[in-house]
Amino acid sequence: MTASHSPKPTVTIRRAQGTADVAQCLKLRAIVFGDEQGIPLAYRHDDIDQTCHHLLAYATLPADSTTDIAPESKPALAPKDVPAGTLRFHELQPGLGNIAWVTVLPQFRSLGIGRLLMQAAHQVIANELMWSKVLLYAQCDKTGFYTRLGYTIPAENTVYLKEGNPHINMELTLADARISG
């Protein structure tokens, strides 16, 4: 007996462009942080969303696959490209950036999309924006993920509650101003 395996989806990361893309980012954030984690809308969306940099991850599913996460209005991509993840970043002060709301839909978490989103953000931050350091407010149960990406917890840091979940600050100093893809 032979087992048939569907090929893994390919993943594409791109910068969000315009209000429709930002709306897609917020929709993904609502699914993960609202529906899954129960974080109220007032915490999931703020005034800086319209001025932040956003990245979107799309999973290209095989032509014969089905999914229940395809949005009502698909972006102008191939028919089987479905939004799978997002994050946002902005400058806190000159040279210091903040990455936030790292979001991957549950059905795509085994594909390395979170890592790909973070690496893409690091490339933009280092190569285009020229920030030298990145700060993030990590949910405590996600610190291992960020540590594998090179983030550290500053010695003076303590755990605090944010949106009702334990968080801790983590930081990454970009070794030099250029990061290769």
Which tens digit of pLDDT belongs to each residue from 120-135?
999 999 999 999 999 9
Express each pLDDT in 132-166 by its tens digit: 999 999 999 999 999 999 999 999 889 999 988 99
| Residue 1 is assigned to a structural domain of this protein | no
| Residue 2 is assigned to a structural domain of this protein | no
| Residue 4 is assigned to a structural domain of this protein | no
- DSSP conformation class of 176: S
- DSSP conformation class of 166: E
Strand order in the sheet with 10-15: 10-15, 53-60, 81-93, 96-104, 133-139, 165-173, 160-162
The rounded mean pLDDT for the chain is: 87
Q: What is the pTM of this model?
A: 0.85
Instruction: State the residue range of the domain holding 25.
Output: 10-173
Find the CATH number of the domain harbouring 162. Answer: 3.40.630.30
